[in-house]
Amino acid sequence: MRNRFIYILILLLLPFAASAQVVTLTLENCKDMALQNDPSVRNAHLDVLAARAQKQEAFSEYFPKVSLNAFGFWSLSPLLEVGIKDIIGENELSEVLGALIESASQQYDFSPIYKALKTGYVASLSAVQPLYAGGRVATGNRLASLGVEAAKLQQEIALRDNEASVEADYWQVVSLEEKLNTVSILSQLLDTLHKDLSSAVQAGLAVQTDLMQLELKQSELKSGLVQLKGGIRLAKMNLLNSIGQDYCFLPANADSLKPFIDDIVFADRLEDLLPPQEYYIPEEQLAASLNENQLLDLSVEAKKMEKRMALGEALPTVGVGASYNYSRTINERANGTVFAIVQIPISDWGKVSRKVQRMDYQMQKASNDRDYLSSQLLLQVRQLWLGLTVAWDKMMVAQETMDLAQKTVDQLTGRYEAGLVPMSELLQAQTILRQSTEAYIDSQIEYSSALTAYQSRK
């Protein structure tokens, strides 16, 4: 009975033990998890691998092309039938020789008609080494190298955007949790005030109206707490889904791999934020170092390479090769051959010239796009810097407003206790303090996000 009681007690306490498994995540933890689970990051890595494979594919063009060929046949009747008349034609000599051969064939039992090629096969091994292909092989390899560089830059952009997205989602959760703490502290203050005011009402030192106003404010805060808790869960769900962290909504179903969502804690908080001047980088220097700007340069260079590839189609192709073949058709024999190939396109010159002209237009278009988009990138850097300075100024104003609201609440609390101001005025001041504190928290998050956006362009 004792063992049975202990077993039942363990079963009853197991859900509570599971729900107590707290999972702590830092901002760096979330970024690392997102790198492993975000599809855009994984796809960017696959693009790099594909570009490297394409580079190796282009490099193989430097080596000889080796091929093994085999051919066999069988026919209903021989493909070759030759008689004496097929050799010397219809004449008196062929008639005489034909009669002699016919007589000898009957005497020695052979056919007067030579027949061959009813069955046979041919096998050959060949190797061709290109010596010159209009520069297309070397240009193709340089173009493939550009593709690898472009894929790496795209991967860095994907990583940067992913980190910025995770950081924004992370601070969104932190912001809501800080607001929840603010409302909780204010709710505790009102609870203490409610106890004092209830005693004062019972003693006839305060009116019932003040107590009702206080209780209405408490109900308002409780509603705000419920909304904030729901908002925190939604923000957590958005972040956890993006980083690949599993979770559940029932404490009884929680385990180490699938914790209860409220037991997932985000440890980082905003540290002391420095003014924008501490992070300034010259605009032109920052814009020139952007991955997007380097991609624009690569696009222009790629168009130049494509033009050279098109031009190479009109140039001669030179190669050497060797082959070895074995055949068994009319007779059985093996043979080897060395050869040289020179191919000069003539009829395609007009077509290639138009293609080169088209590629030249595309190259000019890519150059124009680069110049325009480079100026847009410089504008983007300036906008990021402007947004950073504006966010800092807003945060300073919000901090001043919050400090002033705190002083007002402190003063009105003392005056209310002295009976100099009504309850409604104190509650209104506390509401303003809560709103100004939340506005300050939002301004901190906004400045941190603006700083992340600016620094991510380094």
| Distance of alpha carbon 366 from alpha carbon 368, whole angstroms | 5
pLDDT score, position 20 = 53
Q: Is 70 exposed, middle or buried (0-12, 13-18, 19+ CB in 10 A)?
A: exposed
Query: Using 50, 70 and 90 to split pLDDT, how confident is the model at 14?
Result: very low
Phi, psi of 191 (to 5 degrees): -65, -45
Which residue in the block uniquely carries the two structure tokens 């609390």?
Answer: 413
pLDDT score, position 16 = 44
Lowest mean pLDDT among 172-181, 274-283, 349-358, 374-383: 349-358
pLDDT score, position 6 = 38
| Mean pLDDT value of segment 364-393 | 93
- Residue predicted with more confidence, 121 or 79: 121
pLDDT score, position 458 = 66
Tens of pLDDT, residues 119-138: 899 999 999 999 988 888 99
Tens of pLDDT, residues 21-46: 788 999 999 999 998 888 888 999 99
Helix (H) or strand (E) holding 340: strand 332-343
- Residue predicted with more confidence, 34 or 208: 34
Lowest mean pLDDT among 198-202, 320-324, 393-397: 198-202
- Hey, is 123 helix, strand or coil? strand
What is the pTM for the complete model shown?
A: 0.75
206 pLDDT more than 80: no
Contacting residues for 164 by C-beta, under 8 A, at least 6 apart: 452, 453, 456
Query: Using 50, 70 and 90 to split pLDDT, how confident is the model at 15?
Result: very low
Tens of pLDDT, residues 218-235: 888 888 889 999 999 999
In the chain, the percentage of residues whose pLDDT exceeds 70 is 95
The token pair at 290 is 């952007």
Tens of pLDDT, residues 435-451: 999 999 999 999 998 99
Tens of pLDDT, residues 339-370: 899 988 888 788 888 888 898 999 999 999 99
CA distances in angstroms from 190 to 8, 184, 218, 344, 402, listed in the order given = 42, 10, 7, 94, 19
pLDDT score, position 436 = 93
Report H helices in 65-207: 84-88, 92-108, 136-202
The token pair at 13 is 């306490």
DSSP string, 399-445: HHHHHHHHHHHHHHHHHHHTTSS-HHHHHHHHHHHHHHHHHHHHHHH
Residue type at 122 in one-letter notation: V
| Mean pLDDT value of segment 237-254 | 89
Lowest mean pLDDT among 337-341, 383-387, 414-418: 414-418
Query: Using 50, 70 and 90 to split pLDDT, how confident is the model at 4?
Result: very low
Mean pLDDT, the chain, whole residue set = 86
| Mean pLDDT value of segment 300-327 | 90
* Strands of 119-132's sheet in order across: 65-74, 119-132, 317-328, 332-343
Check: CB of residue 206 under 8 Å from CB of residue 193.
no
User: Buried (b) or exposed (e) across 351-376, using 16+ Cβ within 10 A?
Assistant: ebeebbeebeeebeebeeebeebbee
